[in-house]
Amino acid sequence: FLGYGAGATGEQGQGRILAIIAHGQSVDAAAAGEEVEILTDRTPLYGRSGGQVGDTGRIVKREAGDTATDASACEAEVLDTWKPVPELIVAKTRVTSGSLFVGEEVTIQVDSDRRQRIRRNHSATHLLHLALREVLGQHVTQKGSYVGPDKLTFDFSHFSPLTAAELKRVEQLVNSAIRRNAAAVTEECSYDDAQKRGAMALFGEKYGDRVRVLALGESVELCGGTHVTRTGDIGLLKITSETGIAKGIRRIEALTAEAAEDHLAAREAELAAAAETLRTGPLEVSDRVGKLLEELKGRE
C-alpha cells in the first residue's frame, strides 16, 4: 500500500497488474465497457476496512508520448476498493477506453478531494474517542465506526444518553485539539510495544505481530487507515446526533470541515427565517415562541 504519503505522494503510484477478475473468473484482459476487479502489486488505493470506506479514483495506461486517443492508451474508473483478506487490495474498476492486460504497468490515481474528506473524518474519530473518555470515563471504548467522505459515525460503550452539557464539552475538547494543530506521528512496532505505550486498539479488529501506531496529540491508537498531516487539517467538528443503537452502545454522528460549516449555515438560515416570521431577532426566537404559546394557552 502506497497511500500513507502526504498529499500527492500518497495519492498516485505505479503498479503492475497481477490479475483481472471478471464474473468470478481470472481473465487476461479487460476492454472498454467492462466492469472487472483489478489486483496490482502496489497501489495508493485504500481498501475498505476498519470502518474506513474504500478509495475511488482512476487507472491510466499510456506510453511516453501517447495521447488519450492512441490505441495503446487506456483509462479506467475505480468505483470502489476493498480488502477481501489482509494485505490483498482489490479495485472494482470500469474500463472507459482502451484495454487493460495482466502484466502491464499502470498509473493509479486516488480521488484526491474524496480522500482528503475521508482523512479528516477518520482523524476526527480518534480525537472524538479521546474526548469521550475524558468526559464520560475510561470505560468508554470504541465499538465500531463509519468513516466516509460525507460524515463519520462513532459507536462506543456507555450506559446512558449524553446530556447536552456532556455533548458540548466533548465537541469543545475535539475542536480544541484541532486548533492545537498537532502533527500526526506514525510508527511501526510490535503489538506488545504498542500496548505498552498505551495505544488503543479498534474493537473487533485482528492485528498481526507488527502494527501501525498513530499519535495525534494526546491520542494514541493502532490504526492502518489514512489520516491528516496535522489535526488543524480537520478544520472543525460538529456533532449532529447522539443515539442508542444497542444495550450499552451509543452512536455519535458528526461532520467536519466544509460539511460542518454547511450544516451550521443551514441551521443559521432556518433560525433567521423563523426570526423573520416572528418579527424578532434570531437570539430572541425562543423567548418569542414561549410568549406566543402562553398567549395561545390563555385563549384556549
Gyration radius of the chain over CA positions: 24
Closest CA to 161 of 101, 242, 106, 233: 242
Q: Say how far apart CA 185 and CA 214 lie, in whole Å.
A: 6
Percent of the chain with pLDDT over 70: 95
Closest CA to 191 of 170, 212, 164: 212
DSSP-derived 3-state class of residue 192: helix
Report the chain's terminal Cα–Cα distance, integer Å: 69
Q: Tell me the backbone φ, ψ of residue 144, rounded to 5 degrees.
A: 150, 170
Determine contact, residues 30/20, Cβ cutoff 8 Å: yes
pLDDT at 48: 95
- β-strands 57-61, 105-110: how paired? antiparallel
Across 7-21, 22-36, 152-166, least confident range: 7-21
List the beta bridge partners of residue 82: 48, 90
pLDDT at 67: 56
At CA 112, angle to CA 106 and CA 116, rounded to 5?
140
Across 72-76, 101-105, 179-183, least confident range: 72-76
Q: Say how far apart CA 9 and CA 50 lie, in whole Å.
A: 23
H/E stretch holding 30 reads: strand 29-31
Q: Tell me the backbone φ, ψ of residue 184, rounded to 5 degrees.
A: -80, 125
Q: Assess whether pLDDT exceeds 60 at residue 184.
A: yes
Residue 226 corresponds to which cell in the numbers above? 489514512
Q: Say how far apart CA 235 and CA 244 lie, in whole Å.
A: 27
pLDDT at 133: 97
Q: Assess whether pLDDT exceeds 60 at residue 69.
A: no
Q: pLDDT band for position 2 (50/70/90)?
A: very high
pLDDT at 213: 94
Q: pLDDT band for position 66 (50/70/90)?
A: low
CA distances (Å), origin 219, targets 137, 197, 201, 213, 275: 15, 11, 12, 10, 41
pLDDT at 142: 94
